[in-house]
Amino acid sequence: MIATLEKAQQVEQAASALVVASLAGVTQNYGEVCALRNMTFRVGPGQVVALLGPNGAGKTTAVKLLLGLLEPNAGRVRVFGGDPTNPQNRMRTGAMLQVGRVPETLRIREHIDLFSSYYASPLPIEEVLAAAGLEKLADRKFGDLSGGQRQRTLFALAICGDPDLLFLDEPTAGLDVEARRALWDGIRHLVRRGKSVLLTTHYLEEADALADRIAVINQGTIIAEGTPAEIKAQTSGKRIRCVTSLDLKSLLQIPGVIDVKQDRNTVEIQAREAELVVRALLNRDSTLSGLEITAAGLEEAFLALTQDNNENANRQN
């Protein structure tokens, strides 16, 4: 009996070693509003996991639960196999959130020195500055920084403690293309060192470029999960570009059309079955020209998945 119990404990420990952070059957309510519904979600070691969803889908609530800032109404939250509020577990996590402020009169170097003092084995300050692309700005006051420079400073504060698990909530918001790519390189460097990253972002290109796994959340529930390639394969959507005399409202009424965007003199149509939509376009517009059809990317897959989920929810209601 004792041997059986010890073996079961060993199996549980081995399984937990494969999971850095998890939600298991978690439900979270804000009064009468249900933010998460029986949600199960995992982050593995050495992975970048992107949590994608529209505004209000439950992404921030999931992050707050994993950070120990909220206690679930039901289900279990684990970080490094234990309670996320455990001081030892908190010492192994770092977070870059959209909310919160830091003193504007301190210089970047002073901020990093202060945050580093909270950790037992912080990274050298010069390594932190380099990872965030702040070497030339180290002595500038936070209040004098641009929006993008502030984002990079918050990233530096999130990584200065050399965390094993890093939460990044919209980390590249406000960054130009060059700064965004530099931050991506910093994230990849962390992962090569065995760190785990939970990323929330509205830049789907960012998730496609960085994530080992993607989880799509909508209305408090995970509706799709897998590698970027697997997520894109879950929809047969295509992108259609053309020059048409039809207005956007008329295009949206064509069966199978998911979304429509105007791009100068052309329109970009996202469709589930391109062939059917193209036939409809040709029947309705004899002047149609400049027709191009390409395979669906992550953006098209995301839109199709969330729209289908919303439609199913509306039918059930």
Digit-coded pLDDT (tens) for 249-298:
999 999 989 889 998 899 999 887 888 999 999 999 999 999 999 876 78
- For the chain, percent of residues with pLDDT exceeding 70: 91
Cα separation, 281 vs 262, whole angstroms: 16
Q: Please give the Cα distance from 221 to 59 (Å, whole number).
A: 10
Amino acid 299: pLDDT: 81
Element (H, E) at 295: strand 289-295
pLDDT at 128 (0 to 100): 95
Three-state DSSP state, 202: coil
Residue type, 216: V
Place 236 in a pLDDT band, splitting at 50, 70 and 90.
Answer: low
Q: Which residues contact 249 (CB under 8 A, 6 or more apart)?
A: none
CA angle in degrees (0–180, nearest 5) for 271-169-205: 35
Question: Would you state the pLDDT for residue 143?
Answer: 93
Average pLDDT over residues 165-192: 91
The alpha helices in the chain, defined as continuous H runs, are 2-17, 59-66, 87-90, 108-116, 125-131, 147-159, 177-192, 204-210, 228-233, 248-252, 274-284, 298-316
Contact 191, 209 (CB under 8 A): no
| pLDDT the model gives residue 306 | 86
Confidence of residue 46 (pLDDT cuts 50, 70, 90): very high
Which pLDDT score, from 0 to 100, does residue 136 have? 94
Measuring CA to CA, how many Å separate 146 from each of 68, 113, 169, 274? 31, 21, 19, 43
pLDDT band at 127 (very low <50, low <70, confident <90, very high): very high
How long a stretch of residues is the chain? 317
Confidence of residue 10 (pLDDT cuts 50, 70, 90): very low
pTM above 0.75, yes or no: yes
Output 108-114 pairs: Cβ under 8 A, ≥24 positions apart. 108/134, 108/137, 108/138, 108/139, 108/140, 108/142, 108/145, 108/153, 108/156, 109/138, 109/139, 111/142, 111/153, 111/156, 111/157, 112/156, 112/157, 112/160
Per-residue pLDDT at 14 exceeds 60: no
pLDDT of 312 strictly over 90: no
pLDDT greater at residue 313 or residue 240:
240
pLDDT at position 15: 45
Separation CA 184–CA 182 (nearest Å): 5
Q: Whole-angstrom Cα distance, residue 310 to residue 62?
A: 20
Structure tokens that stand for 235 in this block:
């929809």
Beta strands 289-295 and 266-271 are unpaired
Q: What is the pLDDT averaged over residues 173-189?
A: 90
Q: Confidence band (pLDDT; 50, 70, 90) for 303?
A: confident
Q: What is the pLDDT of residue 237?
A: 67
Q: What is the pLDDT of residue 12?
A: 44
Whole-number average pLDDT of the chain: 89
Tell whether the model's pLDDT for residue 48 goes beyond 90: yes
Task: Return the residue matching tokens 């995992």.
Answer: 42
- Reply yes or no on whether the pLDDT at 311 is more than 70: no
Q: Is the pLDDT of residue 161 over 70?
A: yes
